[in-house]
Amino acid sequence: MTSKSFNPFEVAQQQFDQAADQLKLDDHVRAILRWPMREFRFQIPVRMDDGSIKIFFGYRVQHNDARGPAKGGIRFHPNETLDTVRALAMWMTWKCAVADIPLGGGKGGVVVDSATLSVGEKERLCRGFIDGIWKNLGPRIDVPAPDVGTTPQMMGWMMDEYSKLTGQYVPGVITGKPVGSGGSLGRTEATGFGVIFTIREAMRHLKLEAARCTAAVQGFGNVGQYAAIGFSELLGGRVLAVSCYDRHDKTAYTFGRPDGVDGRFLQSITDQYGTIDKAKAQAAGYVIEGGDAWLSKDVDVLIPAALEGQLTAETADRISPQVKMVAEGANGPTTPEADAVLKQRGIFLIPDFLCNAGGVTVSYFESVQNDANYYWEHEAVLRRLDQKMGAAFQGVLKMALAHDVYMRDAAYMVAIDHVVKAMELRGWV
Ligand code: NAD
């Protein structure tokens, strides 16, 4: 994920610096927020099915916990780096602050391709991750969750390992657990539907009629699937194309249908790693194009929901003149150079840590339910999610309009302001 040309942490710091200038933050406040508070890198020895022992590397970064325990997912990805985890941890701080949930920012990762592991190896790796970091986790310290390459079942194993090590049942140490094992109803669709709730608010602001709008989605994992499904089921719009990375061919493809894709059908032929079955899609009449084709579709909304660094100066030039909005389902999908292109073209942006805050919002609801040992109805979870996302969007829009700034800058201004206030109230600065 981090390459020579794209370092997500540099991007995260660059975005922060820009907002810090706008907010005229003092140097010592900047110094605290430009870097994570704590970082851990640890070995995870795992016995493989063939009897050998393989050493994996795990990371956990706690960027800031002024507003509450650090919070953020654990990624299993072969190209995971400390800088990726740092960037994601920092974005989590802003995400929780912009969504106004009482949590800080953290992130974790393991350098591994989970698709290459057996179920038993995966379980031992998850338990090993907790063995390596458990003393620095806890419901009041740092609460991980799933992310790219990790699943609710994996969170269930991690919660179990932590509970064994501490000698008590501690469901609140991790969120995104399976329902029935401390998980919340609605968590699965929370991020994708949250993306849709912010798109709905943006459409109202731009006076677009949702039912007449079209979209293209990059990525068909947890976020992309529910963004695509939500775009048609919750808004009444049409998704003309979705793309995914095919883990067998190691190539990305775009799947489209001029009258709109059927998100539920595509989901039914997608594996747990977000690879759509090409043969089944083709048999159902889908047109299959190259991985970048989603980007140049004549649609109203683009939803990058795969990985960071996808919209670059070069790819942003290929965006159709019809596009009115980019809703960042993924974390950090747009480079600063591409941001400048979007700004200059007047494309409305829903920035990542606002747009995809639905997952962490329902994770927070999950912690609340764990604490109370009382579980809410599905409908109640989604209703509260809708309220939170709507309020977060309106807060950022108000800041953007009041200061005549781009939505990303406005989101940073809202988020940093909340974090700095908490640091002041705690007497840190
Ligand atoms: P996932 O692993 O479930 O899915 C990722 C998808 O992206 C897969 O379909 C994969 O094939 C696809 N992909 C990867 N590279 C691609 C490429 N070059 N072109 C097209 N498709 C490509 O991951 P996810 O949980 O859906 O997360 C996606 C993004 O959203 C990440 O940036 C993640 O950090 C962010 N996010 C996730 C959540 C969550 O709750 N899952 C919450 C907030 C943010």
pLDDT in tens, 204-249: 999 999 999 999 999 999 999 999 999 999 999 999 999 999 999 9
The yes-or-no verdict on residue 4 having pLDDT over 70 is no
**Contacts from 400-409 at CB under 8 Å and sequence distance 24+?**
403/22, 405/22, 406/339, 406/343, 406/349, 407/348, 407/349, 407/350, 407/351, 407/354, 408/15, 408/339, 408/349, 408/351, 409/18, 409/19, 409/22
148 alpha carbon – ligand 1 mean position (Å): 6
The whole-number pLDDT of residue 2 equals 45
Taking CA atoms, 423 is separated from 18, 220, 266, 414, 418, in Å, by 20, 38, 46, 15, 9
When pLDDT is averaged across residues 42-59 and rounded to a whole number, the result is 98
Q: Is 347 helix (H, G, I), strand (E, B) or coil?
A: coil
In angstroms, the CA 255 to CA 293 distance is 9
Tokens 């999908």, located at residue: 333
Q: Where in the chain is the domain with CATH 3.40.50.10860?
A: 38-184
Domain 188-355 has CATH 3.40.50.720: yes
Q: Convert 84-122 into a string of H (helix), E (strand) and C (coil).
A: HHHHHHHHHHHHHHHCCCCCCEEEEEEECCHHHCCHHHH
pLDDT of residue 130: 98
Nearest protein Cα to ligand 1, atom 16: 245
Which residue of 154, 307, 366 sits with most ligand 1 atoms within 8 Å of its CB, as the best mutation to test the pocket? 307
Atom of ligand 1 nearest to the CA of 190: 40
Q: How many CA atoms lie within 13 A of 102 on its CB side?
A: 7
Which residue's structure tokens are 């990790």?
150
Query: What is the average pLDDT across 363-373?
Result: 97
| Ligand 1 center to 108 CA (angstroms) | 15
CB-CB neighbours of 260 under 10 Å: 17
Instruction: Quote the pTM value.
Output: 0.94
241 contacts 249 by C-beta, under 8 angstroms: no
Read off the amino acid at residue 137: L
- Give the atom of ligand 1 at the shortest distance from the alpha carbon of 329: 30
End-to-end CA distance of the chain: 34
* Residue 351 confidence (pLDDT) above 70: yes
* CA-CA-CA-CA dihedral for 35, 357, 195, 250, to nearest 10: 50
| CA-closest residue to ligand 1 atom 4 | 221
Pocket of ligand 1 (CB under 6 A): 147-149, 191, 218-224, 243-245, 252, 274-275, 291, 305-307, 329-331, 356, 359
CA of 67 to the centre of ligand 1 (A): 27
Please give the distance, rounded to the nearest whole angstrom, from the Cα atom of residue 292 to the centre of ligand 1: 15
Q: List pLDDT tens digits, range 397-415.
A: 999 999 999 999 999 999 9
CATH code of the domain made up of 38-184: 3.40.50.10860
Can you tell me which atom of ligand 1 is nearest the CA of 274?
Answer: 9
Atom 2 in ligand 1: residue holding the nearest Cα: 148
Instruction: Give the SS3 label for residue 379.
Output: helix
> What is the model's pLDDT at position 5?
64
Which atom of ligand 1 is nearest the CA belonging to 333?
32
Q: Work out the pLDDT band at 391, boundaries 50, 70, 90.
A: very high
Residue of 80, 92, 147, 266 to mutate, ligand 1, most atoms within 8 A of C-beta: 147
> Tell me, what's the pLDDT at 6?
77
Please give the mean pLDDT across all residues of the chain: 96
Are 157 and 127 within 8 A, CB to CB? yes
Determine the Cα angle at 28 with ends 27 and 33, to 5°: 95
Mean pLDDT within 100-114: 97
| CATH 3.40.50.720 location in the chain | 188-355
Query: What residues act catalytically?
Result: 107
Q: What is the mean pLDDT of residues 286-303?
A: 98
Query: 116-151: per-residue pLDDT in tens?
Result: 999 999 999 999 999 999 999 999 999 999 988 999
